[in-house]
Amino acid sequence: MQAEVVEFESAKTGESVQAVYEHPWPVRFSHWLNTIALFVMTGSGLQTFRAFPSFGAKIPQKDLLNWPKAFAIGGWLGGALQWHLTFMWIYIATGLFYLGYQICSGHYCQVLFLPGDIGGVWPMARHYFLFGPKPPATEAYNPLQKLAYTSALGLGVLSVLTGVAIWKPIQFSWLAWLMGGFHLARLWHFLVMWGILFFLLGHLVMVVLHGWNNFMSMLTGWKTHPDYTPRS
């Protein structure tokens, strides 16, 4: 996979600045569409959960947690379901568009975690969490990043599958069966959501740590001053 690279002269300093095209528009488009869809799906999902905040029996009902209404979308159960059942189509369509693009373009090489990346995970984790030396960057994503993004994509797929098992436990009874039945599918759906939120937390911390040039690359595709030497 070859990245497009340009060099331009800075108008201020006259020095030569390198920029690499990291994110083609379908990836950026899906990223921001998904940001909104995920926000609505999580908020409305939590409002739905408020109607029965338990995974046990209805009688007697033991509430698991009282999620605050202020951090939920829809205002009431019916409203939340309208949001959820509307944005699930946007969420699914975005996911299919993204996966379709990645597969057809071959751009997935940038993000897909492969067995060859396993060795690079620990040095990177040691750098981030234990202040170890920073392994040299050789491409857009390091092995730990690839692992995180690939896992997040997997969770995205699981969020749809567990959701379908709850929405259509009879028409897709095999899906519900795979998850241990309708009752457990609801728990998996909930846990997958927390998995995605956990990824999001790490993602946002990294975005802040890596600064403006990195953030802009998800808007324009171009990253100036890359911290690696792009192959071109």
Partner 1 sequence: MDERKFKKMNRRELLKITPVIALAAFAIPVLREPLLKKGLAFSDWASGKLFRPGHLATTFEDSELTPFEKFPINGYDVDDPGVIFENWTLTVSGAVQKPGDYTLAQIQALPATRQNTRHVCVEGWDVIGRFGGTRLSEFLKLIGADPTARFVSVQCADDYYESLDMATAMHPQTLLCYEMYDKPLTREHGAPVRLNVPTKIGYKQAKYLTDLKVSHVLDRVGYWEDQGYSWFYGL
137 binds partner 1 (CB under 8 A): no
Minimal distance, residue 216 CB to partner 1, in Å = 8
Question: Interacting stretch for partner 1, rule CB under 8 A, among 29-37, 63-71, 137-145, 193-201?
Answer: 29-37
Q: Cβ distance 98 to 41 under 8 Å?
A: no
CA distance 67 to 73: 12
Minimal distance, residue 8 CB to partner 1, in Å = 4
Q: Helix H segments across the chain?
A: 25-51, 77-105, 118-130, 143-167, 173-178, 182-220
Minimal distance, residue 136 CB to partner 1, in Å = 27
Burial class (CB in 10 A: 0-12, 13-18, 19+), 89: exposed
Using CB under 8 A, count the residues that bind partner 1.
Answer: 50
5 binds partner 1 (CB under 8 A): no
- x/- string (CB under 8 A) for partner 1, residues 177-196? -----xx--x----------
By CB under 8 A, name the one of 78, 136, 202, 211 that touches partner 1.
78
CA distance 105 to 26: 10
Strand partners, 64: none
- x/- string (CB under 8 A) for partner 1, residues 211-230? -----x--xxxx--------
29 binds partner 1 (CB under 8 A): yes
Q: Report how far apart, in Å, the C-alpha atoms of 51 and of each of 83, 159, 189 are.
A: 15, 20, 16
CA distance 186 to 161: 11
81 binds partner 1 (CB under 8 A): yes
Please give the structure tokens belonging to residue 144.
């730990």
CA distance 42 to 46: 6
Return residues touching partner 1 (CB under 8 A).
6-11, 17, 19, 25, 28-29, 32-33, 36, 40, 48-49, 51-52, 54, 57-59, 61, 77-79, 81-83, 85-90, 167-171, 173, 182-183, 186, 216, 219-222
